């Protein structure tokens, strides 16, 4: 499966990036709408992005009791979205209820699990009662997510290899922390280039600043796509 590009929309509203976003129609297929935008302008911004012609990855990282998460999946299923995230730490039941709601209300929607946030190190995990090392915990939660019926995970580039080794090959792995060779690191530390991530098993790479901060975002997006072999 070729690796695909997801463009991050880290802004309060699609209107804040409208001119550049419109120029990217036809080059970029997927756009990620995150918590910042969704909490600011809600379902309307999802429709706005979809109306421009993009597929939407809605990154809400749901985490609550099974019934509430299932009802939330049912609610967002009315929106034009192709992928939605939830926290695997919510447990097997929560994920299974979410999958059931997705299958009933949005058969085309792919649910993705977030395992350990990459902002959490061994010490942070320990503080919340997790004795396992971060990588072991990521693989443990990844396995649980797949058992519960999720068809993909969000992970850091460094977790691609252990997850690929542990999981069936049809599980999608979606990876931020991507930097083309010529781009700066910004606040990212452990990064891979688009080509490295694709070779390590990423199904989708999530890229923001290297495209938005480039002199010409369309040229930057095309360069990343050509590195992915698209
Ligand atoms: O601008 P940049 O390419 O760093 O954007 C990466 C996106 O992925 C941002 O939306 C960021 O919140 C998200 N992300 C990340 N690292 C993680 C998890 C999510 O950069 N470990």
Whether the pLDDT of residue 230 is over 80: the answer is: no
Question: Measuring from atom 2 of ligand 1, which residue has the nearest CA?
Answer: 208
pTM above 0.75, yes or no: yes
How confident is the prediction for the chain on average, in pLDDT?
Answer: 95
Q: What is the DSSP letter of 178?
A: B
Q: Is 186 in the pocket of ligand 1 (CB under 6 A)?
A: yes
Q: Which pLDDT band, with edges at 50, 70 and 90, does 146 fall under?
A: very high
| pLDDT average, residue stretch 185-210 | 93
User: Is 27 a residue whose pLDDT tops 90?
Assistant: yes
- Residues of the chain with pLDDT > 90: what percent? 88
Cβ–Cβ < 8 Å for 190, 160: no
Cα 156 to middle of ligand 1, angstroms: 9
Say if ligand 1 is within 6 A of residue 81 CB.
no
pLDDT, tens only, 88-118: 999 999 999 999 999 999 999 999 999 999 8
- Looking at residue 11, its pLDDT comes to 86
Ligand 1 near 176 CB (within 6 A)? yes
How far away, in angstroms, is 15 Cα from ligand 1 center? 21
pLDDT at 190 over 90: no
pLDDT in tens, 149-172: 999 999 999 999 999 999 999 999
The total number of structural domains that make up the chain: 1
10 pLDDT band, cuts 50/70/90, is: confident
Ligand 1 pocket member 177 (CB < 6 A):
yes
Task: State which ligand 1 atom lies nearest to the alpha carbon of 117.
Answer: 21
What 3-state class would DSSP assign to 220? Answer: helix
Tokens of 189: 């530390």
Pair of tokens at residue 186: 């910004």
How does DSSP assign 4-70, residue by residue? Answer: EEEEEE-SS-GGGGHHHHHHTBTTB-EEEEEHHHHHHHHHHHHHHHHHTT-EEEEEEEE-S-HHHHH
Which of the residues 22, 32, 55, 61 is marked catalytic?
A: 61
Looking at per-residue confidence, does 141 or 182 come out higher?
141
CA of 177 to the centre of ligand 1 (A): 6
**Ligand 1 atom 21: residue of nearest CA:** 118
Would you state the pLDDT for residue 182? 87
Query: According to the model, what pLDDT value does residue 1 have?
Result: 79
Is 22 an active-site residue?
A: no
What pLDDT is recorded for position 185? 87
Three-state DSSP state, 116: coil
Q: For 10, what's the count of Cα atoms within 13 Å in the CB-facing half-sphere?
A: 10
Q: Which domain holds residue 171?
A: 4-228
CATH number at residue 22: 3.20.20.70
| Three-class DSSP labels, 60-76 | EEECCCHHHHHHHHHHH
Q: What is the pLDDT of residue 55?
A: 98
């Amino acid at each position: 499966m070729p690796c695909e590009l997801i463009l991050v929309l880290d802004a309060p509203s699609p209107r804040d990036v409208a001119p550049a976003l419109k120029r990217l129609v036809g080059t970029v297929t997927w756009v990620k709408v995150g918590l910042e935008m969704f909490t600011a302008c809600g379902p309307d911004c999802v429709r706005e992005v979809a109306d421009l012609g993009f597929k939407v990855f809605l990154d809400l990282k749901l985490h609550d009791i099974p019934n509430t998460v299932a009802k939330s999946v049912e609610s967002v299923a009315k929106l034009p979205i192709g992928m939605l995230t939830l926290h695997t730490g919510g447990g097997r039941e929560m994920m299974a209820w979410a999958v059931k709601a997705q299958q009933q209300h949005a058969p085309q929607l792919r649910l993705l699990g977030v395992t350990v946030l990459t902002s959490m190190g061994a010490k942070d995990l320990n503080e919340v009662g997790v004795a396992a090392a971060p990588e072991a915990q990521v693989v443990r939660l990844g396995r649980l997510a797949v058992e519960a019926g999720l068809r993909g995970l969000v992970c850091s580039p460094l977790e691609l290899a252990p997850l690929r080794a542990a999981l069936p090959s049809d599980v999608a792995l979606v990876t931020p922390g991507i930097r083309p060779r010529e781009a700066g690191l910004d606040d990212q530390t452990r990064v891979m280039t688009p080509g490295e991530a694709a070779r390590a098993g990423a199904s989708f790479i999530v890229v923001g600043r290297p495209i938005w901060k480039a002199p010409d975002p369309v040229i930057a997006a095309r360069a990343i796509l050509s590195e992915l072999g698209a």
